[in-house]
Amino acid sequence: MSEETKLQTDNLDLYYNKFKALNHISVHIPANRITAVIGPSGCGKSTFLRAFNRMNELIPDVRVEGQVLLDGQDVFALDEVELRRRVGMVFQRPNPFPKSIYDNVAYGPRAHGIHNHQMLDAIVERSLRSAAIWDEVKDELGKSALRLSGGQQQRLCIARALAVEPEVILMDEPASALDPSATLRIEELMQQLKAEYTILIVTHNMQQAARASDYTAFFMMDDNRAGTLVEFGPTRQIFTNPRDHRTEDYISGRFG
């Protein structure tokens, strides 16, 4: 692999109290690519994702060992507010704030001190355009975000994440609550976004990983129920010629 590395973990262990949820994860996530994280339920995919923006810390009694790097910088040495500005996140369930569409997108920039109306207007329009939802909402930016459809809400959440100009977007099963056509729109959007952003996406849906991602990381639970990385590689290789028999078993639907 000659790709530039954006995110990296070295021997990452994560504990919920005494329970080990991630076991020695070492991986390089390439820049400006879509990397899918797949694996059976409970294998630590989401926990792994949240290690990069330190959202695991919000849960009491979480302990992390090993390194997590963003552009070679230790994320634990960064201020978490600054880190989360650089590493955005889209959640499984669309979670727009109970505010107007405009205020949802402007929330991040405002939190970072931008209050100039023209600047905010420009950011909101640019973000909504990038998230491919501008044409649907441009005439009703004052409308409550909760009145949008689920698919629109999720694209709004993507726009909201883009508004703070992150470098990385973490997506935690962003389409699992959406219907097939809304899912397809999110996948198309990801292809447009990868020119500017590094995308890491957790998905339950193997077809989605196969058609939408450049690289795939396959996670499984080990004998102690801790999540381990079984195999990482270009998506095509993982799906056509996996090196590990467990990957092949999972992909061919023999378990999971």
Partner 1 sequence: MAYKSARLMDRGVKGILLAAAFLAVAIVFTIGLFILRQALPAFSQIGVFRLLSGTEWRPSQSIFGLLPMILGSLLVTLGAIVMGVPLALGCAILMAEIAPRSITAVIRPAVQLLGGIPSVVFGLFGMRVLVPLIRQIPVPSNTGFSILAASIVLAVMILPTITTVSEDAIRAVSGDYRDASLALGATKWQTIVGVVLPAARSGIVASVVLGIGRALGETMAMIMVIGNSVIIPQPLNDNPLTILLSQARTLTGNIAVEIGYSSGLQTNALYATGVVLFLLTILINSLAHALVKERAI
When the beta carbons of 26 and 95 are compared against partner 1, the nearer one is: 95
DSSP secondary structure code for residue 216 in this structure: E
Q: Which is nearer to partner 1, 26 or 149 (CB)?
A: 149
CB of 244 vs partner 1, minimal distance in Å:
32
CB of 98 to partner 1, least distance (A): 6
CB of 100 or CB of 152, closer to partner 1: 100
- At 94 the three-state DSSP class reads coil
CB 196, min distance to partner 1, A: 18
Crossing angle for the helix pair 150-162 and 180-193, to the nearest 10 degrees: 20
Q: How far apart are CA 109 and CA 238, in angstroms?
A: 39
Strand ranges in 97-221 using DSSP code E only, listed in sequence order: 168-172, 198-202, 215-221
84 vs 155, beta carbon nearer partner 1: 84
β-sheet bridge partners, residue 16: 19, 62
In angstroms, rounded to a whole number, what is the distance separating the alpha carbons of residues 16 and 61? 6
**Residues composing the chain:** 256
Answer for the pair 143, 149: CB distance below 8 angstroms, yes or no.
no
How near is the Cβ of 144 to partner 1 at its closest, in Å?
A: 5
Q: How far is the CB of 106 from partner 1 (least distance, A)?
A: 11
Output the smallest distance, CB 160 to partner 1, in A: 7
Cβ neighbours around 70 below 10 Å, total: 21
Beta carbon nearer to partner 1, 111 or 119 = 111
Residue 58 or 195: which CB sits closer to partner 1?
58
Residues at the contact surface with partner 1, assessed by CB under 8 A: 53, 55, 58, 81-85, 88-89, 91, 93, 95-100, 107-108, 110-112, 144, 157, 160-161, 164
- Which residues touch 108 (CB under 8 Å, ≥6 apart)? 85, 160, 161, 163, 164
